[in-house]
Amino acid sequence: MEKIESYYLYSSGTLSRKDNVIRMETADGRKKDLKTEMTRDIYLFGEVTTNTKCLNYLSEMKIPVHFFNYYGYYTGTFYPREKNVSGKLLVQQVCHSMDEEKRIILARKFVDGATANCLRNLQYYRRRGKEIEKQIADIEAVRKRIPRTNEVEELMGLEGNIHQIYYSAWETIFNDEVEFKMRVRRPPDNIVNTLISYLNMLTYSACLSEIYVSQLNSTISYLHSNSERRFSLSLDIAEIFKPLIVDRLIFSLINKKIITEKDFENGSNGNYLKQTGQQKVLRQFDERLNKTIRHRELKRNVSYRKLMRLECYKLIKHLMDDKEYEPFKIWW
């Protein structure tokens, strides 16, 4: 049975095992039972106490748990012991990461896929009358340099240039006047940067859950440094999907006024989403992941979340020399 539920728990309380369910009990006694056989992953946003009995059961049921702090920042993941391990695949994953020629081939594909999807977003809004022809032309010019890069650091520099141009079109895409001059991460300084940071972290976590289902090792990556973050492969795969999931969702949240300035606060940690704002965004994020599209090769509807898993399988085929990897590119 395929696991189909992601649970987003905002309240503080205790997470425990009760018979064959995981129970979340809040301080005021409210209880919510999670059907473990249907649970894909759990996202915790409150102050939650748990114990080894619960964690052992979550590991047995292969359920990752992603932790976020009060401000909605990702703090870590409980990653169950991998049971679906392939020694041969692990060797190939390491070889493709250690071999500079093999690594740059994959790194180029991740950047080109992400760039193609950024361009697709801009082309969508150009057709709707937004004057962003210059940004499209500038990105296409930089994109032509991707196949000629021979070092990952150089490739990351091109990616940074592409995103700088891409983000410069956003103020034009927004229907109302919204401040967004440049990407600021730590801490985010306005509502757009806050939404990017928050949704990026959710997307990394969703990718990590899909990597866990595959046989891939989440710590071995190709575009991002293996030492940069514990689960760096999720950063590689998320790069391709952020234009589809994060960016399109931000355009929708702001242009449809689902999110407004009232959902944010400024503090010593910069600009951040209030809890009510986080919940609004989470609902929209989950709906976005469950949205389906007719797959051109499979000839059936697949969810955006399933596209992430399919990307893992395509990467496996490349590593095992079955089929050259081609990154996901938005076709609609």
Question: Distance (Å, rounded) from C-alpha 292 to C-alpha 261?
Answer: 30
Rounded Cα distance, 223 and 220, in Å: 10
159 is in an annotated binding site: yes
Q: Is 276 exposed, middle or buried (0-12, 13-18, 19+ CB in 10 A)?
A: exposed
Which tokens go with 12? 């503080």
DSSP for 294-325? E-TTT-SEEEHHHHHHHHHHHHHHHHTTSS--
Cβ pair 25, 16 in contact under 8 A: yes
CB-neighbour burial class of residue 114 (10 A; exposed 0-12, middle 13-18, buried 19+): buried
**How many CB atoms are located within 10 Å of the residue 332 CB?**
8
Residue type, 283: R
The annotated binding site for Mn(2+) is made up of: 159, 224, 239
Q: Which residues belong to the annotated binding site?
A: 159, 224, 239
